Structure 1
């Protein structure tokens, strides 16, 4: 059973004390009854040196299980604290596709050394995956799988599965190949076990979905999960089988991409590691660039305010509503951007749908603006004057309409120019809506208040 948070915190305090006293015997006794996931939770809360000590105290099999469950960033950290022999063993025991996750994290010098230390067969399998570009599903597929042939029987196919049980990453979905190594269909292990042993595979194989190795990993992972597939055959441009994307790797890809999008929509870079094991310097580095970008963008807002300084001096009450208006505009734009970015990831919309999205967001923004504008008109009209209420109401209507349209369009524009929508949308929306919203505000104020 996995430890509860309170029990885990108490265990961490005990382990910290034992590490401080260098009582390795007692420390081993503490680790022995823990599950693999509990040990991973512990390691995620320790520093690099302590993590290496704990890992060395584990049995060989347990150490490998724990290492495989760690995020790639922590795997990279751990390698720097282990002896060369330990590093080579752990790296060699990983599946080829899992090695790619780790190699993407470690420095190039260490990556080359790790590859050189692999047995020749494993090195060739891993190097084959490295040949695909970053972000492609070719880097995430496993080259260790079982196949059968259209001319084989169910019994012969089961024998092939038995022969590959130790080294194949997946045996539950089995591609059926023709003489040219094209994927003709798939059979499941359940199908093989349930059919007559002498039945030819081609008589009961199922239609197959495939993806090309050069396709975007996130897109293929989404396809795999949407179709509820345990594994998806990955082929070359001529439909010859190259590997398999398993469901656990598909989920891992989606988790990684969604964590990245969530971080960037919140104005920071993804950590790619548990929060408590992330150095403060890394936290600062992940946020400072975005803060600088937004600070530079805010200078445009300052310029707009300075241009209407005389208006603010004449009707000082207008200044009270500036935070409300630009905040509402930014929130409206970010809501639209988040919705459309998510729809892009799911394949619900494409860049060519920009006019349809604009139409929907203009109407959505206008309705939101009317609702908020009526509330703003009522409150400001009662507290200050009907004219001020009218300025606030009309400004909210205009800002919400513009912000929703811009927020909905930006992710589609970003995807069209091959930029991450999560990176492009929010800083642009914040800067654009703040400055544009103030211009709209003061133009409406000038017209209604005759300034």
Structure 2
């Protein structure tokens, strides 16, 4: 399969190089949308991506556009002709349109919004009115709702009449006349029931999400409950939209990508690596590198304070990488574990003391195990006093690093910050400085420096 794709990619690039557009069009027409998306994602030149996209027929173009990442959609929009853009923008789903607006320059977004039909503009503006990180930005306002008193026969007729434009018909919300959700019913249950049965006799309790709920938290609840879809309600329990499990899975995938990037001291790229400009990659990394470089000056300051101690016992310098590395790794492990527990809803911000106490014990046990090993090895190579310095330092730094690593994501959530930001990079830097202070204080006391 990879060999076939590489052959397709090489053929497309050669045809583009010589500007044989008919050959490019024939190549694209012979492949499915997922393969075309992969081809676009690995084409490094934005202009050539736009050329390939314009060579697709209308149906394939819409399928490909829906499969692209939001960042690539935004870039593609800027590279197409105005008439192509207007057509795409009108035809995509309102929730995809709202997310695309967030990625586009303000001027481009305004022009596209003005070009929409009145109905589509009103629907899109309603989604854009919700907080940026809320599930309201990701829901679809296009759904079929049923009334409890409908018979199954009438309900199926209603679905056939209204279902063509709906996000999904496999799980249908049941509401009263005021649009308040009373339950949900599956299409399978309707198809299998007698025509004279009522929807009220088939519906089950609905598991709804609030329109202002955090998108990641709401999506995780939907995926964990394995719901085909969940009604989205306002403060008065009136339905305003629906979120499918596909949309929820996409939200979680984007959130996981963001967390992974920030744990590595970078911002997510928002588009495939090969299609991201070099300056875009630089921007995603440089801010965090500057922050970490400045914070690392703490370590330099600590070494400066204890410079006389190092000159007196040069051997102390040999163990600095071991101690700072162990502290950073211990803190990073704790932070990663707690950040994941937060994302899964296993702990909440108010559990910070319970988490800190648990990590104190975990860190102490880990430090004791490593400390015993360090004490034995340092005592054999140097002497017992020096071995005691290494052993006690390992116990202390592991305990502190685990506690701080576990507590920092909890504190981040409490102040509505991203827990991933407070994990590996900051904790590693913090542990470097504090572990050195602990190390030199213990060495001063035991070795009488």
TM-score range, shorter chain: over 0.9
Counterpart CA distance in 2 for 1:270 and 1:252 is 15
* Aligned-partner SS, 2:359: helix
Structure 1: stretches of 5+ with no match in the other structure: none
Counterpart CA distance in 2 for 1:233 and 1:127 is 20
Query: Deviations for 1:32-58, whole angstroms, at most 9, x for unmatched residues?
Result: 221111110010011210101111111
Query: Deviations for 1:46-91, whole angstroms, at most 9, x for unmatched residues?
Result: 1210101111111111111111110010011111111001001111
Residue in 2 that maps onto 1:144: 142
Q: 1:372 aligns with which of 367, 370, 373?
A: 370
Query: Deviations for 1:175-225, whole angstroms, at most 9, x for unmatched residues?
Result: 111122111111000011011111111112101111111111111101111
Q: 2:92 aligns with which of 76, 94, 99?
A: 94
Does 2:191 match 1:193? yes
Residue in 2 that maps onto 1:48: 46
Residue in 2 that maps onto 1:430: 428
Counterpart CA distance in 2 for 1:381 and 1:51 is 64
Counterpart CA distance in 1 for 2:322 and 2:270 is 35
1:85-124 pair list within 5 angstroms = 85-124=83-122
Residue in 1 that maps onto 2:11: 14
1:48-447 pair list within 5 angstroms = 48-447=46-445
The 8 Å contact of residues 143 and 163 in structure 2, kept in 1 or not, is answered as no
Query: Deviations for 1:386-430, whole angstroms, at most 9, x for unmatched residues?
Result: 222221111111100000000000011111111111113334312
TM-score where L is the length of structure 2:
0.98
CA offset at residue 7 of structure 1?
3.1
Counterpart CA distance in 1 for 2:179 and 2:69 is 35
CA offset at residue 378 of structure 1?
2.1
Query: Deviations for 1:364-397, whole angstroms, at most 9, x for unmatched residues?
Result: 1111111111221222222222222221111111
The 8 Å contact of residues 293 and 427 in structure 1, kept in 2 or not, is answered as no
Residue in 2 that maps onto 1:34: 31
Structure 2: stretches of 5+ with no match in the other structure: none
CA offset at residue 13 of structure 1?
2.2
* Aligned-partner SS, 1:186: strand
Counterpart CA distance in 2 for 1:354 and 1:208 is 32
Counterpart CA distance in 1 for 2:378 and 2:269 is 44
The 8 Å contact of residues 414 and 425 in structure 1, kept in 2 or not, is answered as no
The worse-fitting range, judged by mean Cα deviation, of 175-184 and 65-74 is 175-184
CA offset at residue 124 of structure 1?
1.0
Number of residue equivalences: 448
Counterpart CA distance in 1 for 2:429 and 2:8 is 47
The worse-fitting range, judged by mean Cα deviation, of 419-428 and 331-340 is 419-428
* Aligned-partner SS, 1:311: helix
Query: Deviations for 1:13-37, whole angstroms, at most 9, x for unmatched residues?
Result: 2221111111112222222221111
CA offset at residue 447 of structure 1?
1.5
Counterpart CA distance in 2 for 1:31 and 1:136 is 37
Counterpart CA distance in 1 for 2:295 and 2:172 is 54
Query: Deviations for 1:284-303, whole angstroms, at most 9, x for unmatched residues?
Result: 11111111111101111101
The 8 Å contact of residues 334 and 429 in structure 1, kept in 2 or not, is answered as yes
The 8 Å contact of residues 262 and 421 in structure 2, kept in 1 or not, is answered as yes
Query: Deviations for 1:271-321, whole angstroms, at most 9, x for unmatched residues?
Result: 111111111111111111111111101111101001000111111111011
CA offset at residue 141 of structure 1?
0.6
Counterpart CA distance in 1 for 2:202 and 2:4 is 52
Counterpart CA distance in 2 for 1:257 and 1:105 is 16
Counterpart CA distance in 1 for 2:343 and 2:136 is 19
Counterpart CA distance in 1 for 2:129 and 2:25 is 42
* Aligned-partner SS, 1:245: strand
TM-score where L is the length of structure 1:
0.97
Counterpart CA distance in 1 for 2:186 and 2:301 is 65
Query: Deviations for 1:322-345, whole angstroms, at most 9, x for unmatched residues?
Result: 111111101110110111111111
Residue in 2 that maps onto 1:25: 22
Counterpart CA distance in 1 for 2:109 and 2:438 is 54
Query: Deviations for 1:220-271, whole angstroms, at most 9, x for unmatched residues?
Result: 1011111110110011111011100111110111111111111101100111
